[in-house]
Amino acid sequence: MPIVTVEIVTDNPPPVDLAAELAETLAGVFGGPSSRTWVRVRALTNYAEGGGGPQPSVSPVFVSLLMADPPAGDLRAAQAISVTNAVAAACSRPAENVHVIYEPPGAGRVAFGGNLVPPKGY
């Protein structure tokens, strides 16, 4: 069920095939079929950082992950590295400019076609 939202700080639209490329790549990271990994890509053109940053050459990428039951602890840390590296490669950005945000678990609060994703063990 991963729903991935990728926001790229840019002045140009992202490549039209980027979402499809990321869906295939990230399905492998999450260990599920690509048909169950959904990716939205957005250009973020209105962005600022306090303190005068970022440098003009730095264009962050923000990745939000909504998963039914996200991993915890060391598994989450390893997954975050894999997601970061996959997104950095696909977006042609350095890994240090990719920031991953884990949303609260989606099970019990996300419905597909009106069908609520049941909590684990339900």
DSSP, collapsed to helix, strand or coil, labels residue 76 as helix
pLDDT score, position 121: 61
pLDDT score, position 33: 80
pLDDT in tens, 50-60: 887 667 677 89
pLDDT in tens, 4-56: 999 999 988 999 999 999 999 999 999 988 789 999 999 999 888 888 766 76
**Strand arrangement, sheet containing 98-102:** 38-44, 3-9, 61-66, 98-102
Please give the model's pTM, rounded to 2 decimal places.
0.92
**pLDDT (mean) for 89-115:** 95
Q: Rg for the chain (alpha carbons), in Å?
A: 15
Query: Domain map of the chain by residue range?
Result: 3-116
pLDDT score, position 47: 87
pLDDT score, position 2: 95
pLDDT score, position 17: 97
**Dist. CA 23–CA 60, nearest whole Å:** 20
pLDDT score, position 92: 94
Residues constituting the chain? 122
Token pair listed for 109: 């609060």
DSSP, collapsed to helix, strand or coil, labels residue 89 as helix
Please, which pLDDT band fits residue 122 given cuts at 50, 70 and 90? low
On whether the CB atoms of residues 8 and 19 are closer than 8 A, the answer is: no
pLDDT in tens, 56-94: 677 899 999 999 999 999 999 999 999 999 999 999 999
C-alpha pair distances (Å), 7 with each of 12, 63, 105: 12, 6, 20
Q: Which superfamily does CATH assign the domain made up of 3-116 to?
A: Macrophage Migration Inhibitory Factor (3.30.429.10)
